[in-house]
Amino acid sequence: MKVGNMTHTLLSQEPLPSIKELNKILAPYQKANLRQSLFQLATTLVPYFVLWYLMILSLSVSYALTLVLAAVSALFLVRIFIFFHDCGHNSFFPTTRANKLAGFWLGVLVFTPGEQWWHSHAIHHATSGNLDKRGIGDVFTMTSEEYISAGWFKRLGYRLVRNPVVMFGLGPIFMFFIANRLPMPLFGKKETWSVIWNNVAVLAVATVMSLLIGVKAYLMIQLPVMYIAGAMGIWLFFIQHQFEDEYWAREGEWNYVASALLGASFYKLPRVLQWFTGNIGYHHIHHLSPRIPNYYLEQAHNSSFLFQKWTHLINFGEGYRCVRLKVWDEIIHRMNGYPKVHQGL
């Protein structure tokens, strides 16, 4: 039996470790290593830019070849996004200034405004698994009761958003080319200006590239790279927080440690994909301590039997099973498919 299938059984039999206990274990991994961070940037950005040069050359040979190179480039772009993500947690470099500066320019490469996305993501970390604080930085999830009591139009909208074709097919277009271009009215001036400056920088880069190689050539490269990387990113985030035995609780019962250990999966990927995704499959460790840089996540996971004991393991070939899960059943504490509704959907 997999460890992940035992989480709620264990939860009912013994208490989770305290955050104080876990912090003692994780403390050695919570400091950024400048040399390691610079090495990661060099071994990721250099190949990414070389691939861009090869894609430009390939346009005169075969667009099929360009798309193959775009798929490889997209893997590097996913890794770049992980660095951008770490900068937002102030964990990639030792200083806040370095994280902010690097994070801004990495955000330009991944079409994502730093301050706004980091703010939204911080809310996600603070509320993940909390049924009373859904809606910002998460994959919106209805309960079975909410779905049954909702009107047909709302149920239809929910079904459309949760449809794999929409979520993973149209999701990257909406997220990176539309949503990330608009400031969120809930946030403040700093977040709004981050969107404006990100838009200006993205437009500046696009203009320079278009002048150098032509608008058509730029779009034929940039769009598939961004689209493929975006789809992979959405898939990863979905698997990390949408699985059968995950953790959801109401505000009065919500627990931070439970939301990390039981509400974030360990998505075990093949080594090469683990490298391209910056170890983010160790998502339970990341939620326990966002200050751990991506390059220490695996070591932190292996540092204590507690993480193996409480981990919800999802093997690479099992991720597709999570897509069929649609709503959270508060009675049996599991994600399920859509419940039957007497009328409508």
- Mean of the pLDDT values across residues 193-215? 98
- Mean of the pLDDT values across residues 211-231? 98
- Mean of the pLDDT values across residues 46-62? 98
Q: Confidence band (pLDDT; 50, 70, 90) for 145?
A: very high
User: What pLDDT shows up at residue 309?
Assistant: 87
Q: Confidence band (pLDDT; 50, 70, 90) for 4?
A: very low
Q: Confidence band (pLDDT; 50, 70, 90) for 344?
A: low
User: What pLDDT shows up at residue 240?
Assistant: 95
pTM, to two decimals? 0.93
Dist. CA 71–CA 306, nearest whole Å: 37
Average pLDDT of the chain, as a whole number: 94
- Mean of the pLDDT values across residues 102-122? 97
User: What pLDDT shows up at residue 224?
Assistant: 98
- Mean of the pLDDT values across residues 33-43? 98
